[in-house]
């Protein structure tokens, strides 16, 4: 018996292309080993509210809906409620999987050998298991599937290195991670050039967007060239080209802007006055309540001991409560200069530096220009060791 969703739900999409859509789609799937009444949900990656819900019965499911264009979706399965209702105590019986593919109007068929062969969700996600399922009937997915298979080893290695670095903090792991990320970046650009599917290419190019001040104008121009031949007026392409224009404000070489900062003695001074013309400067944006910020201090201490004679270090707190900042200073006892950002300066950091989270590290060259922004102390040290020639 198949569970069929009777209504047709229109899925929204950030991409609108020239492909003439069919009336609707039907996804019929086979997932051996799935517990009866396991919930299954299909939703656009960008909008979970536009989801279609159903259940797996006898290892089968069927979902119906409409979409305007090929859309990258998430297919999720969760049997937690069934396990709880049956009062089953074996945690291994709980299955929570989430996978991604491109769906489009037409007859679609999903297959996998067994529910245990699918990648689990969140931190348990195993990229290598992406080879264990197929979706037939979608031209966009055929192309995306090729990209997945070509990049599985590299993406798995990257995830492994990310986990290793987060656990041990070895700078060698981070350098290797950057090398592998660069390889994936080049492979992704080559794949976009070779395959003429706008929906897939716009999805993949999202991976090529970089942090503010870690790219130059030439890099943005290169991304733009990947789509220069497209005449499509779809919303997704318009949004990407708008991103390229906005990203120009954060290319390497932008001058650090002036602002008032407060010393631990309560005196106001100028941010630019802290820069020295003969050396690089590191600005660490942090706050007393930010756990990751304070967790980065041991590594920053090591960098200060290693580079402190050639690089100026400044910590700039965005705390709203000065007492909290002062208390944290007493606890951390950091050996470099400490300042508190004024409310006026805090308001401008998003616009001037695209600062949306902390910790954020800026590296300023001897001419007062920003050459790096990031959130990882490992990437910061790599920048100091390579770009600054220290």
C-alpha–C-alpha distance, residues 9 and 56, integer Å:
19
- Cα 244 to Cα 46, 152, 185, 277: the distances in Å are 20, 28, 17, 32
Give the mean model confidence (pLDDT) for residues 149-166: 95
Q: What is the pLDDT of residues 266-303, one digit of tens each?
A: 999 999 999 998 899 999 999 999 999 999 999 999 99
C-alpha–C-alpha distance, residues 306 and 313, integer Å:
12
Confidence of residue 388 (pLDDT cuts 50, 70, 90): low
> According to the model, what pLDDT value does residue 385 have?
87
> According to the model, what pLDDT value does residue 389 have?
64
Q: Is the pLDDT of residue 365 over 80?
A: yes
Burial 320-333 (b: 16+ CB within 10 A, else e): eeeeebbebbeeee
Confidence of residue 2 (pLDDT cuts 50, 70, 90): very low
Report which of residues 50 and 100 the model is more confident about. 100
Does the CA dihedral 70-73-79-81 come out positive or negative? negative
- Cα 381 to Cα 196, 255, 280, 296, 384: the distances in Å are 39, 21, 13, 12, 5
Q: Is the pLDDT of residue 78 over 60?
A: yes
Give the mean model confidence (pLDDT) for residues 109-131: 95
CB 28 within 8 A of CB 11: no
Report which of residues 145 and 165 the model is more confident about. 145
The CA radius of gyration of the chain, in Å to the nearest whole number, is 25
C-alpha–C-alpha distance, residues 55 and 45, integer Å:
20
Q: Are strands 311-317 and 280-286 parallel, antiparallel or unpaired?
A: parallel
Strand, coil or helix: what is 317?
A: strand
Q: Write down the mean pLDDT value for the chain.
A: 91
Q: Is the pLDDT of residue 50 over 90?
A: no
C-alpha–C-alpha distance, residues 123 and 190, integer Å:
29
Q: What is the pLDDT of residues 19-42, one digit of tens each?
A: 555 679 999 999 999 999 999 999
Q: Is the pLDDT of residue 1 over 70?
A: no
- Work out the widest C-alpha separation in the chain, in whole angstroms: 75
Burial zone of 233 (CB within 10 Å; 0-12 exposed, 13-18 middle, 19+ buried): exposed
Q: What percent of the chain has pLDDT over 70?
A: 93
Q: Is the pLDDT of residue 263 over 70?
A: yes
What's the predicted TM-score (pTM) here? 0.87
């Amino acid at each position: 018996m198949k569970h069929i969703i009777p209504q047709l739900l229109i899925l929204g999409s950030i991409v609108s292309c020239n492909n003439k859509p069919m009336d609707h789609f039907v996804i019929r799937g086979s997932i051996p080993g799935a517990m009866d009444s396991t919930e299954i949900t299909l939703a656009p990656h960008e909008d979970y509210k536009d989801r279609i819900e159903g259940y797996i019965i006898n290892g089968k499911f069927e979902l119906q809906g409409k979409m305007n264009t090929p859309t990258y979706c998430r297919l999720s399965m969760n049997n937690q409620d069934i396990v709880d209702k049956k009062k089953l105590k074996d945690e291994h019986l709980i299955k929570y999987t989430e996978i991604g593919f491109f769906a489009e109007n037409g007859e679609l068929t999903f297959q996998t050998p067994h529910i245990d062969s699918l990648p689990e969700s969140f931190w348990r996600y195993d990229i290598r298991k992406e080879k264990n399922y197929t979706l037939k009937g979608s031209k966009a997915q055929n192309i995306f599937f090729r990209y997945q298979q070509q990049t599985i080893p590299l993406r798995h290695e990257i995830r492994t290195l990310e986990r290793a670095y987060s656990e041990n903090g070895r700078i060698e792991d981070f350098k290797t991670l950057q090398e592998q990320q660069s390889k994936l970046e080049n492979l992704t650009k080559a794949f976009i050039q070779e395959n003429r599917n706008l929906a897939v290419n716009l999805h993949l190019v999202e991976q090529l967007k970089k942090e503010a001040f870690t790219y130059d104008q030439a890099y943005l121009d290169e991304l733009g060239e990947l789509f220069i031949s497209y005449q499509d007026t779809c919303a997704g392409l318009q949004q990407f080209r708008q991103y390229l224009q906005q990203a120009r404000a954060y290319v390497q070489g932008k001058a650090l802007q002036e602002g008032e900062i407060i010393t631990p003695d309560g005196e106001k001074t100028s941010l630019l006055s802290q820069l020295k013309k003969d050396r690089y400067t590191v600005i660490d944006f942090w706050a007393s309540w930010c756990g990751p910020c304070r967790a980065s201090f041991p590594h920053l201490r090591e960098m200060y001991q290693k580079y402190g004679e050639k690089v100026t270090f400044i910590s700039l707190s965005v705390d709203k409560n000065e007492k909290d900042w002062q208390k944290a200073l007493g606890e951390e006892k950091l050996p470099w200069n400490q300042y508190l950002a004024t409310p006026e300066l805090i308001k401008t950091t998003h616009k001037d530096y695209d600062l949306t989270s902390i910790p954020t590290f800026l590296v300023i060259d001897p001419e007062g220009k920003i050459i790096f922004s990031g959130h990882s102390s490992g990437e910061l040290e790599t920048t100091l060791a390579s770009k600054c020639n220290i």
